[in-house]
């Protein structure tokens, strides 16, 4: 009997093709939308593998509906939508797609940083309104980049890549992370600091930590109050890392200069106050959304699933100990 793998939404074709070529019965949902919990359960019931997305919730109860499940292969680097402890307890491997989306996500953080700072989207809206009457010396003045200080919260692969891009503007780099990054210090002159120093000193703060219990609302009212009134906050990590209501209030009161957000606390919902403000740029979770990157993510997800179902260790297993002793 061919092993069954369910792909929860249409994805770039590299991954599904690899699954078929490897001899699996791979079925792709034909609905380009997030499936409901019941739909996921109905579709994975007799599957050995599932190819899923960050919008799919996998808890123990869902896993219990798929007794043959060996691997949950997530097409994303973040996997806070999956209860990894529940998977581990059931002997199910969980995998993600690190590395292949580092550049695309770092690029998008910079796109947000520059758009927020130089008021690119606001300018575009003005042009489209048809009310621009020509150049003016006081119009849409924004922030400066050269020589300013960039604060990186979470100095993993993506945080490092964002920091490296700042060399073009000779920026000073501060970072906050539980782990020291000596190579980032020697390559970029970056300095590891406590969160308070980072918040107080940075002109641009970019978040790159995973969403874990310790990082939920890591940036709240108190932290926003420590930021310079001229500073910008960029988030391409996960929405709940910021207390979105506190950020909306800080932006409304011009407590900070601006923000660029790719992720939200309750996606796809966005705080209604943010929607009305001009000093925030809002993107629909596009961090890894380049054609090449998404093909690589799809292929990497398939590679992990194939490995697990062929009895090998998935190259990007996040709960490796699950396989130990098997």
Catalytic residue, chosen from 208, 285, 294, 303, is: 285
Q: Does 306 bind ligand GLV (CB under 6 A)?
A: no
Catalytic residue, chosen from 39, 185, 197, 267, is: 267
Give the contact letters, 97-136, x = binds to ligand GLV (CB under 6 A), - = no.
----x-----------------------------------
Cα 169 from Cα 154, distance rounded (Å):
21
Q: Does 54 bind ligand GLV (CB under 6 A)?
A: yes
Q: Does 288 bind ligand GLV (CB under 6 A)?
A: yes
Q: Catalytic annotation on 285? A: yes
Instruction: Report the nearest approach of ligand GLV to the CB of residue 307 (Å).
Output: 19
Kindly determine how many residues on this chain lie close enough to bind ligand GLV according to the rule CB under 6 A. Answer: 7
Instruction: Report the nearest approach of ligand GLV to the CB of residue 293 (Å).
Output: 9
Stretch that binds ligand GLV, among 74-82, 174-182, 301-309, 310-318 (CB under 6 A): 74-82
Q: Nearer to ligand GLV by C-beta: 115 or 293? A: 293
Nearest to 94 by CA among 115, 71, 60, 68: 71
Q: E strands along 102-220, which residues?
A: 149-153, 172-176, 191-192, 204-207
Nearest to 217 by CA among 201, 237, 203: 237
Q: Does 77 bind ligand GLV (CB under 6 A)?
A: yes
Catalytic residue, chosen from 238, 244, 265, 294, is: 238
Give the contact letters, 19-48, x = binds to ligand GLV (CB under 6 A), - = no.
------------------------------
Q: Nearer to ligand GLV by C-beta: 260 or 287? A: 287
Q: Nearer to ligand GLV by C-beta: 240 or 287? A: 287
Angle at CA of residue 158, ends 235 and 71, nearest 5°: 100
DSSP letters for 40-57: HHHHHTT-SEEEE-TTS-
In terms of phi and psi (left: phi > 0; alpha: psi -120 to 50; beta: otherwise), the region of 39 is: alpha
Stretch that binds ligand GLV, among 73-81, 173-181, 188-196, 275-283 (CB under 6 A): 73-81
Q: Does 287 bind ligand GLV (CB under 6 A)?
A: yes
Alpha-carbon distances, residue 176 vs 129, 153, 213, 251 (angstroms): 41, 5, 17, 23
Q: Catalytic annotation on 267? A: yes
Alpha-carbon distances, residue 211 vs 60, 80, 91, 239, 271 (angstroms): 19, 6, 23, 8, 19
Cα 41 from Cα 323, distance rounded (Å):
24
Instruction: Report the nearest approach of ligand GLV to the CB of residue 97 (Å).
Output: 7
Adjacency order of strands within the sheet including 191-192: 191-192, 172-176, 149-153, 204-207, 232-235, 258-261, 280-282
Catalytic positions are: 238, 267, 285
Point out which residues bind ligand GLV (CB under 6 A).
54, 76-78, 101, 287-288
């Amino acid at each position: 009997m061919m092993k069954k793998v369910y792909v929860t939404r249409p994805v770039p074709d590299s991954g599904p093709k690899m699954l078929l070529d490897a001899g699996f019965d791979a079925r792709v949902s034909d609905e380009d939308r997030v499936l409901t919990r019941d739909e996921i359960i109905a579709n994975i019931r007799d599957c050995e593998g599932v190819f899923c997305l960050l919008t799919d919730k996998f808890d123990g109860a869902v896993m219990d509906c798929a007794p043959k499940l060996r691997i949950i292969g997530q097409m994303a680097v973040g996997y806070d939508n999956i209860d990894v402890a529940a998977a581990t307890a059931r002997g199910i491997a969980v995998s993600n797609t690190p590395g292949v989306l580092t550049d695309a996500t770092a690029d998008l953080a910079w796109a947000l940083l520059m758009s927020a700072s130089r008021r690119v989207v606001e300018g575009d809206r003005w042009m489209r309104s048809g009310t621009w009457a020509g150049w003016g010396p006081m119009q849409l003045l924004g922030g400066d980049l050269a020589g300013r200080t960039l604060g990186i919260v979470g100095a993993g692969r993506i945080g490092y890549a964002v920091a490296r891009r700042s060399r073009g503007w000779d920026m000073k780099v501060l970072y906050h992370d539980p782990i020291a990054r000596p190579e980032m210090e020697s390559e970029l002159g970056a300095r590891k600091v406590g969160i308070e120093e980072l918040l107080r000193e940075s002109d641009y703060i970019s978040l790159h930590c995973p969403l874990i219990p310790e990082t939920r609302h890591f940036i709240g009212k108190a932290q926003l109050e420590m930021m310079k009134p001229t500073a910008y906050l960029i988030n391409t990590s996960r929405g709940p890392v910021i207390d979105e209501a506190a950020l909306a209030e800080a932006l409304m009161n011009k407590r900070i200069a601006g923000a660029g957000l790719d992720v939200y606390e309750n996606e796809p919902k966005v705080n209604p106050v943010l929607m009305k403000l001009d000093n925030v740029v809002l993107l629909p979770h596009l961090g890894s959304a380049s054609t090449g990157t998404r093909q690589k993510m799809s292929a990497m997800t398939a590679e992990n699933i194939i490995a697990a179902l062929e009895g090998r260790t998935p190259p990007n297993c996040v709960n490796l100990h699950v396989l130990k002793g098997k």
